[in-house]
Every structure is written in structure tokens, then in C-alpha cells.
Amino acid sequence: MPRPLRLTSPLADGVPDLAEFVTDVVARVNAGAWGRDPNSPDDQTPVFVARAPGRLDVMGGIADYSGALVLQWPIREATRVAIRPWTEQRLSILSIARGGLERRCDVPLEIVADPQRSHDAVRAWFAADPTRHWAAYVAGVLHLLSREHGVRYASGASILVESSVPEGKGVSSSAALEAATIEAATAAWRVTIDPRTRAVCCQQAENLIVGAPCGVMDQMTSICGEADSLLALLCQPAELQGSVRLPDALRVWGIDSGIRHAITGTDYGAVRVGAFMGYRILADLAGLQVMPGERPGHVRVNDGRWRGHLANVGSDAFGRFAADIPEALDGHAFLQRYQGTTDLVTRVEPTRRYAVRAPTAHPVYEHERVTDWARCLTSTAAAWPHDAARLGALMYESHASYSACGLGSAGTDRLVALAREAHPAHGIYGAKITGGGSGGTVALLTDAAAGDAVRAIAGRYAEETGREPYVFEGSSPGAARIGTIRLDPA
């Protein structure tokens, strides 16, 4: 008879969803409904449970892949993952949702455990069947642990996933899944990796296995974020600047537009490619040394001036070069003249035409906006509501820059317009589209007492569009702040 589970490590205070999940895991195991090793009638293997939140991108957004400072808010909604190693030579990944909906994917252990298997080969295995693509976020993390961090899997595991982070809303449901997975996995396989490296590993899994060209801010926030604070991250490549606690006078909210956002979407990817094309052109204009890279279409730049990041160019320097950066350029013409970009995550498609000037300008000015925003927020001489109005104005500028890049949407634009109409007189200071854009969620900065005004905006949007928006309220700690919960057989 399998022995019932018991809790052997304390639960975090103030995280009720984690306590509920642990209770459910215990019940499932004790009832034989999940995690039972088919080869072990007296299963004595512990279960490792972790939790990671989604995030609201308050400032910085898509400038992360260009080295900008970003400010990210860990939300209340989170993903929970339980891992129980077993003797089977496979991973059995089960995702459960409210209403009893389930997704299941069995992954042969050799797909993730062979350190000689290339990232491309693992990616191809998941891409070959659309029904198992979602499991790449979980198994991809385990593959990166094997290939890049020396983790050896003698056998597989049963993995249970539950999430309250809505998918396709631009609040990093994918990063929350990756972060919770790596938190539980490093405990289950007894490997010590610092939180920053764990976040980078998750980003690599999404880039290389899932095939989404995201920056690192989502994973860093999901792992390292603090409740009720903005994570400040300088993405060069992932330099934590600490957390900035939001003043008691302010609140951060999110309102979902009802328009699905996808990080793998062509709009986001094209804007990223355009930004790297612009950096390559700037390197040529500045006379920087350019060398062949790791593959066709990739180059290296000897850049002691901007250290390889558009965010370091600065508005003054960019202004001198801007007229020589084309508004748009065909991929073939770009590759003929410039040979490639410095980005290993994306490729310039010869048959595609890319916007270049606006995607290049965005991270240059966004980095300055975010730096100004952070300075204003932390000023010891803060004068509310004057300073709050300045913070809001910077958010509106950021939103307009997204639109200039082609990453706006009718729904998010309307939510931002409704926020403007509400005005600081009603405690609504600013709003902007979040994350990768092209739909998803709008982040709002408000007075602490503006909850009714936020809900009124959501209600008016619902009346106009017929879409019932999800409202994000509250915050919670990142995975590293909670740690892993261990459940042992009694």
C-alpha cells in the first residue's frame, strides 16, 4: 500500500492558492489519482511543489531585449507545479483547469535527458504535434537543466500543473509555468542554481525549445519578484536592480482587452527583428567593427560604445543617426548589405519587409522613460499627485511608442483612452499596453482608493465591446521568495 503524504516544510503565509494546491496534491496522491509509480507498489518518493506568479509590465516591455531598464509587477495570479520522481522512463505531464478540463502529455525521458540532443531536435519533437506543444514549456526547462547545467535524470517524473494565470492576456502565463517548473525541479533533482540563473534558464527554454523570442524580464519577475513591489531589472543581460515598493498612495491594476496576445505572434517577432536590424545599421553608421557570427544571418559587433544594446545609444546620439535609418527595409536587401544581426534568437527573413526606424527608436526612448519613471517614483521629495501625473504621462508616451511600432490593438487603445478620460481627478494617473503588445492587457497606475473607477472603466469597455474584461488586482511573491514545499510519505 502506498503511504499517505504529509507536509514536511512550512507553507508560506499570505499565499492561499498554494495551500489549496498542496491540499489537492495530497488528496490526489492519497486517493491514488495522481503520482503513483506503476513499478512501485509501496511508493515512498516525496513530492516537490512550487508556485510562481505572472506579471504586469508597468514600464519597459519590449525594450528588454535591447538592454533597457524595466519595471515589473508580480501579480496575484500564479501557476503551481508538483513534481514526483518515479521509476518510469518518461515524463507524464498533467495540466488541470477549473471545470475539470485536463491536458496530458507523455514525453519519453530521452527527449529531455540526453545532453547531446540539440535544442533544435527537442523543439522539433514538440512542434511535430500541436497537441503536445504546451508541454514544451515544462519539458524544455528540464532539457535546459540537463544540457546546460549538468542535471542527470536516471528516471522520469509525474508532473502536475495548475494555473490561475490567464493565457493569452500578456501577463506571462508561460514564464509562470517555466518558473514554477524549475523551482520544483531543482529541488526534486537536488541541484543548486541561483535565482537569476534559473530565470535565464527559463528564458532559454522559451527561446530555444518553445520557439518564442521573449526577453528575460518575465522569468526574472516570476522568480525574483517581491509582493507589492516593482522588480527593477536592467536587461544587460539580466542585472537585478532590486525591488521598488509602491508607495501606499498608489496601486497597480490590469484590465484585459479580451484580444488574445501571443509572444510567438509575427508582430512581436517582426518588431524585435526590426530593432536588431536598426542596431546593426547604427553600428555601420558609427564605424564599429563587424565580424561574422555563429551562423548565416548572424554577426558580432565590437561595440565598446554602446556595449551591444540599443538602450545605451541615448536619444541625443540616436537623433544624429535617425535620418539615416530607413523607415522600413526588405530582408533580402538588408542581408545583402549588412550580412545579419546580432540576435541569435530571431532570423531576418529575406522575403519579408520589416519596419526598422520605429522599432529601433522605441528601446532608446523607452529606457530613458523608464529611468525617469523610477527616479520619479523613488524621489524623497515626492509630491503627490503631481509626481503621479508625471508617472502617468510617461506610461501614455510608452503606449504611443508601442503603437508606432505596430504593436497596438483597438481594444488596448480603447482601454487607454478610457483611462485618459477618467483623469487624475478620479485617481487614474496613467495606462499602457503590457508585454509584447498586439492585444492582451493594459496596466494602470491609480490612486489607492480608485478601485471603483478602475472597475467602471472595465464596465464601460464591456458595454462597448461585448467583451467581459478580466481585472487584475493585487500582488504576490516570486517563486524564489517562497521556495519549494516538500511532501513526504508518512
Q: Are strands 90-96 and 157-163 parallel, antiparallel or unpaired?
A: parallel
Half-sphere exposure of 440 (CA within 13 A, CB side): 30
Q: Which residues of 457-483 are buried (b: 16+ CB within 10 A; e: fewer)?
A: bbeebeeebeeebbbbeebbbbbbbbe
Find cell 524564489 and name the residue: 480
d(CA 294, CA 382): 49
Measured CA to CA, the distance from residue 271 to residue 330 in angstroms comes to: 14
CB 201 within 8 A of CB 173: no
End-to-end CA distance of the chain: 12
Q: Which residues are catalytic?
A: 218
The whole-angstrom separation of Cα 237 and Cα 27 is 42
| Continuous segment of H or E residues that includes residue 429 | strand 428-433
Per the CB < 8 A criterion, the answer to whether 59 and 445 are in contact is no
Which among 52, 101, 35, 70 is positioned nearest to 369, based on CA atoms? 70
- Amino acid sitting at position 394: L
Cell of 352: 519579408
